[in-house]
Amino acid sequence: MPKSMKEQDSIPTSKTQRSAKFVKTGFKVGGNYIKHYSKKLFNPALNKDELNLDNATDIYNSLSELKGSALKVAQMLSMDKNILPKAYVDQFSMSLYNAPPLSGPLIVKTFTRYFGKTPFQIFDEFNIRSTNAASIGQVHQASLEGKKLAIKIQYPGVGDSISSDLKMVKPFAFRLLGMSQKELEVYMSEVEERLLEETDYDLEIKRSIEFSEACKNIPNLIFPTYFPDLSSKRIITMGWLDGLHMKEFMKTNPSQAICNQVGQVLWDFYNFQQHELRAVHADPHPGNFLITQDGKLGVIDFGCIKEMPADFYEPFFSMTSTNILQDKTKTIKTFRQLEMIRKDDTPAQVEFFYQVYKEMIELFAQPYMSQTFDFSKKGYFDNLYNYGERIARMPEFKQARGVKHFIYVNRTNFGLYNMLHDLGAIVRTDTWKPHIHTPQ
Amino acid sequence: MAKKMTLISAEELQNAYVDYVLTHGTKPKSVYVFAKANNLTEEEFYNYFASFEGIEQSIWTDLCQKALTGVESQEVWSQYSSREKALAFFYAFIELLKSKRSFVLYSLKHSGMMIGTPSAITGVKNIVEAFAAGIINQGIESGELANRRFFTSKYKDALWIQFGFILNFWAKDNSVGFDKTDEAIERGINVTFDLFEKSALDSLFDYGKFMMNNGGMKQNMKF
């Protein structure tokens, strides 16, 4: 397909690489469909069970590959079996990167449907070839009254395919992993909810405007201007930001001072949201950020927001910013609140999980413990990885543990730590501190 | 009621016919009945159409022609590749069909979906095939599509099959705003054009031919 190849060229390398492992799964799943339908030609009575099982097996295989690499860090808090939902998140948000570009006529049609006009009638200039892929759509350049704009257009049917794929794979994946569906249902629905929110561009533009307003005082942080009048359920129009994605930015050999500055913005941005807004941009992967030449950070995607209810926020951050961990009784009480230790655990189990989770929280909280933290230190991340590896092998972690909020809060914080590590930044970690109203 | 003084147009006749079949759920018993119900003479009907089949066909061909004229007049049309032209036509055609969905469903149902082409859309077939032949030729000239002996002349048939498939899909589509049909068009046309394009299979075939012709060399190779 020479044409689609050409259009795919414009996707940033990082995304191409990240999705590479899913291409294989995609082929396999496609192959399963072909197999199914060719069998069905000869045997019309054939039902889809076999097809679903084939698909689930292939998807599961790619999930387990992931387990080895990309998910190491997330494994920590996600306690092995919670990995599955996390893998779903990545599987579905990333496999969509492989979606072929929308054709020109479909773009024209999408515009006509929502605005009654073609993009050429709305904008002074509109580039019908997309310049970048977004997680569930593609980005086009346009200009209006001398302003350069970025137009994000969603692939059709994304929402439907998320729900149906999740539904299709769920029971089989659980069977393959040998665990109960009921147990994981609560995590799965959390993931599905977030994923579906991502497909709602009306919601995204509302949040983008709210968050960019709320965060506007953070130094060196920039947001594109949003144009709600030129946006709809499938289209978001925003100002164009010039900048580089992190990977390309690092290739320009930026000075330590600039890296620190960018790292500081990242830290401030995330901790301001977590502790002041109690709702956080929960998709800290490098594709959602642009770095300008003078070290400013542009945030370009508010698709995934995780709100943190007080009954999660208070106990969780009380562990990082009070001295609870010194007091075993209080620590266990907090672990119980967060369902990391369960009601029916035996005293031996309580002791075991107390030790393991205490170690984990201490690791997680290290950056909070001092005024500044050097994220370039390899040792700290080695400890994180090793801990994750160890946890993954422990038979005690066969069950899922912890409240559902952990999935996205972990993804956010470890994603943040990872980006800071990639930047090699030294940041002040005392800028936005957790507010704990009821120290226990 | 006095007979209308103004001469009735073909379009008015079509509308009257659509109204009749949708209200009665069946086509009129005879041209006489239909003409009488609309205060016309049979002659006025026969001025434009030879039969009810003829009027149904004309409604279809008019829709199809309108879709074509619509997309061809778009500024961006000349920049489109053959693939995009096909897509644009299908989107426009399905969009137009929405305005006459009840009639389209009626017509498809009552002209009998047999193997082959429902009688009502035989006229459309000619238009679509002519259009398909045009964009395919253009694609072959520009190098976008592969010119394959024996097969090139079948490309337009493949597009006609897609047309039938998409029409059927749309007729059964329950999704909001017929979103699913958009997906069916996007995927279906892309797959069809992917097959038209030069692919690994062409290279493989070419390579096979080369090896056949130069097969003698194999005996000289030691491995």
> pLDDT (tens digit, 9 = 90+) per residue, B112-128?
655 567 778 888 999 99
- Provide, as residue numbers in chain B, all residues whose Cβ is less than 8 Å from the Cβ of A102: 186
Q: Please name the member of B79, B87, B198 whose beta carbon is closest to the beta carbon of A106.
A: B87
In the chain, the amino acid numbered B23 is T
Q: Please name the member of B87, B179, B190 whose beta carbon is closest to the beta carbon of A157.
A: B179
B190's CB contacts (< 8 A; 6+ apart) are: A1, A4, A100, A103, B83
Q: Reduced to 3 DSSP states, what percent helix, strand and coil does chain B have, rounded to the nearest 5?
A: 75, 0, 25
CB contact under 8 A, A105 and B182: no
CB contact B202 to A (< 8 Å): no
pLDDT recorded at residue A111: 92
pLDDT recorded at residue A438: 54
- Provide, as residue numbers in chain B, all residues whose Cβ is less than 8 Å from the Cβ of A112: 95
A158 pLDDT exceeds 50?
A: yes
Report the chain A residue with the minimal C-alpha distance to residue B196. Answer: A1
CB contact under 8 A, B74 and A118: yes
Report the chain B residue with the minimal C-alpha distance to residue A127. Answer: B76
A53 pLDDT exceeds 70?
A: no
Looking at per-residue pLDDT, the higher value among B108 and B222 belongs to: B108
CA contacts within 13 A on the Cβ side of A213 = 7
CB contact under 8 A, B190 and A103: yes
Q: How far is A258 from chain B (nearest CA, A)?
A: 44
| pLDDT tens for each residue of A63-100 | 433 332 223 333 333 333 333 444 444 444 444 334 56
CA geometry: angle at A378 spanning A372 and A379, to 5°?
85
pLDDT recorded at residue A180: 61
| pLDDT tens for each residue of A316-339 | 988 887 788 888 999 999 999 988
In the chain, the amino acid numbered A217 is N
CB contact B176 to A (< 8 Å): no
The span from the CA of B76 to the CA of A170, in Å, is: 44
pLDDT recorded at residue A345: 86
The span from the CA of A402 to the CA of A405, in Å, is: 8
Tokens 């992190």 map to which residue? Answer: A246
| pLDDT tens for each residue of A200-211 | 899 999 999 999
Lowest mean pLDDT among A178-187, A374-383, B178-187: A178-187
Consecutive H or E run containing A125? strand A125-126
Tokens (6 digits) for A71? 């998910």
Instruction: Judge contact between A270 and A280, C-beta under 8 A.
Output: yes
- Provide, as residue numbers in chain A, all residues whose Cβ is less than 8 Å from the Cβ of B183: 156-157
CB contact under 8 A, A104 and B84: yes
Instruction: Judge contact between A152 and A238, C-beta under 8 A.
Output: yes
Q: Which of residues 4-63 of A touch B (CB under 8 A)?
A: 4
The span from the CA of A254 to the CA of A216, in Å, is: 25
Percent of chain B with pLDDT over 70: 91
The span from the CA of B52 to the CA of B183, in Å, is: 34
pLDDT recorded at residue A414: 79
Instruction: Judge contact between A272 and A215, C-beta under 8 A.
Output: yes
Looking at per-residue pLDDT, the higher value among B40 and A172 belongs to: B40
A110 pLDDT exceeds 80?
A: yes
A162 pLDDT exceeds 50?
A: yes
Burial, A227: exposed, middle or buried (Cβ in 10 Å; 0-12, 13-18, 19+)? middle
Give the ipTM of the model, two decimals please.
Answer: 0.75
A11 pLDDT exceeds 70?
A: no
CB contact A116 to B (< 8 Å): no
Lowest mean pLDDT among A66-75, A156-165, A315-324, A359-368: A66-75
CB contact A109 to B (< 8 Å): yes
Report the chain A residue with the minimal C-alpha distance to residue B194. Answer: A1
CB contact under 8 A, A102 and B88: no
pLDDT recorded at residue B74: 86
pLDDT recorded at residue A70: 29
CB contact under 8 A, B80 and A104: yes
| pLDDT tens for each residue of B54-71 | 899 999 999 999 999 999
Rounded to the nearest integer, the mean pLDDT of chain B is 86
CB contact under 8 A, B91 and A109: yes
Output phi, psi for A427, to 5 deg: -125, 155
CB contact under 8 A, B177 and A109: no
Q: Please name the member of A4, A106, A128 whose beta carbon is closest to the beta carbon of B91.
A: A106
CB contact B91 to A (< 8 Å): yes
- Provide, as residue numbers in chain A, all residues whose Cβ is less than 8 Å from the Cβ of B197: 1-3
pLDDT-derived band at A227 (thresholds 50, 70, 90) equals: very high
- Provide, as residue numbers in chain B, all residues whose Cβ is less than 8 Å from the Cβ of A100: 190
pLDDT recorded at residue B82: 92
Report the chain B residue with the minimal C-alpha distance to residue A101. Answer: B186
Q: Please name the member of A100, A108, A156 whose beta carbon is closest to the beta carbon of B190.
A: A100
Burial, B197: exposed, middle or buried (Cβ in 10 Å; 0-12, 13-18, 19+)? middle
Rounded to the nearest integer, the mean pLDDT of chain A is 75
Question: Looking at residues B87-98, what average pLDDT do you find?
Answer: 93
pLDDT recorded at residue A33: 56
pLDDT recorded at residue A344: 85
pLDDT recorded at residue A148: 94
pLDDT-derived band at B169 (thresholds 50, 70, 90) equals: very high
Parallel, antiparallel, or unpaired: how do β-strands A221-222 and A289-291 relate? unpaired
Looking at per-residue pLDDT, the higher value among A43 and A235 belongs to: A235
A261 pLDDT exceeds 90?
A: yes
The span from the CA of A189 to the CA of A207, in Å, is: 21
CB contact B145 to A (< 8 Å): no
CB contact B166 to A (< 8 Å): no
Q: Please name the member of B71, B81, B179 whose beta carbon is closest to the beta carbon of A156.
A: B179
CB contact under 8 A, B88 and A108: yes
Lowest mean pLDDT among A39-48, A56-65, A369-378, B59-68: A56-65
A147 three-state secondary structure: strand
Q: Between the ranges A100-109, A144-153, A283-292, where is the mean pLDDT highest?
A: A144-153
In the chain, the amino acid numbered A148 is K
The span from the CA of A257 to the CA of A299, in Å, is: 21
Lowest mean pLDDT among A98-102, B183-187, B205-209: A98-102
The span from the CA of B128 to the CA of A129, in Å, is: 27
pTM over 0.80: no
CB contact B80 to A (< 8 Å): yes
Q: Residues, chain B, total?
A: 223
CB contact under 8 A, B84 and A105: yes
Parallel, antiparallel, or unpaired: how do β-strands A221-222 and A297-299 relate? parallel
Lowest mean pLDDT among A14-18, A333-337, B30-34: A14-18
